[in-house]
Amino acid sequence: MAHQLEQMAYVGQTPWHGLGNQLTPSQPIEVWAQQAGMDWQIESSDVSYMAQNPRGQSIIMPFEEQRVLYRSDTHAPLSVVSQRFQEVQPKQILEFYRDLTEQSGFELETAGVLKGGKKFWALARTGQSAALKGRDVSNGYILLATACDGTLATTAQFTSIRVVCNNTLAIALKGQQSNAGVVKVPHSTRFDAEKVKQQLEPYRVYRRLFYLS
């Protein structure tokens, strides 16, 4: 499946793949977490392996340099990472938008889980739009996405792409012509939502002026 979608929720237009749970506008974060399949946590366990002692008996040996990440709901493995890896939880992605939706006029539009939980995202409409040629309209969004398998740093950015699957996520992430309006937090660093918002704020003001011009 090209979309690699496990579960998602959305407001408005049905995604091209026809999947997901449609929500009415202004639903709380808790409803989004449940309907988007993001109401679980990433757990971890130290890596161990089985060997044999001189008597031929099986013994379990620890490998302390790495951990296995797995889902709290299904216990399905997600990846093997170093002890320094800082995972970001699915609910942290949604919580990023709580004050933006409750106080700043943003509205969550899509959120979901990809690749069995290895990657997940949320997308909110900023309220800004621009008229294109003909009757088309380009909406402004703020995207937050991450992965726990080392394939994607936790990335917050402005975009005009409505993310509904792995393909559209890839297009949005590659669509920025520069690093302007993009904040990437490597998994060697703890994700700080407020710091990320502060870094995005100057570009938010710029884009508001762009859409109004």
- Comparison of pLDDT for 136 and 49, the residue scoring more: 49
Q: Nearest CA to 79 among 52, 31, 47, 34?
A: 47
Q: What is the pLDDT of residue 203?
A: 61
Alpha-carbon distance of 146 to 166, in angstroms, equals 12
Q: What is the pLDDT of residue 1?
A: 55
Span 83-90, average pLDDT: 97
Alpha-carbon distance of 157 to 143, in angstroms, equals 5
Contact by Cβ (8 Å): 55, 64? no
Q: What is the pLDDT of residue 127?
A: 84
**Residue 45, class by beta-carbon neighbours within 10 Å (0-12 exposed, 13-18 middle, 19+ buried)?**
exposed
Q: Nearest CA to 109 among 142, 135, 136?
A: 142
**Residue 172, class by beta-carbon neighbours within 10 Å (0-12 exposed, 13-18 middle, 19+ buried)?**
buried
Where is average pLDDT lowest: 64-78, 177-191, 198-212? 198-212
Q: Tell me: pLDDT of 90 over 90.
A: yes
Question: CA angle, 71 as apex, 69 and 72 as ends, to 5°?
Answer: 120
Q: What is the pLDDT of residue 132?
A: 59
pTM, rounded to two decimals: 0.89
- Mean pLDDT value across the chain: 90
Q: Tell me: pLDDT of 184 over 80.
A: yes
User: Model confidence at 213, in pLDDT bands (50, 70, 90)?
Assistant: very low
Alpha-carbon distance of 90 to 163, in angstroms, equals 16
Give the pairing type, strands 107-114 and 77-82.
unpaired
pLDDT digits (tens, 9 = 90+) for 20-62: 999 999 999 999 999 999 999 999 999 999 999 999 899 999 9
Q: What is the pLDDT of residue 134?
A: 59
Q: Tell me: pLDDT of 89 over 50.
A: yes
Q: In the beta sheet, which residues pair with residue 147?
A: 119
Alpha-carbon distance of 129 to 40, in angstroms, equals 34
pLDDT digits (tens, 9 = 90+) for 12-28: 999 999 999 999 999 99
User: Model confidence at 211, in pLDDT bands (50, 70, 90)?
Assistant: very low
**Amino acid at position 108, single letter:** L
pLDDT digits (tens, 9 = 90+) for 95-124: 999 999 999 899 999 999 999 999 999 999
The domain locations on the chain are: 5-39+87-212, 42-82
User: Model confidence at 196, in pLDDT bands (50, 70, 90)?
Assistant: very high
**Residue 53, class by beta-carbon neighbours within 10 Å (0-12 exposed, 13-18 middle, 19+ buried)?**
exposed
**Amino acid at position 61, single letter:** M
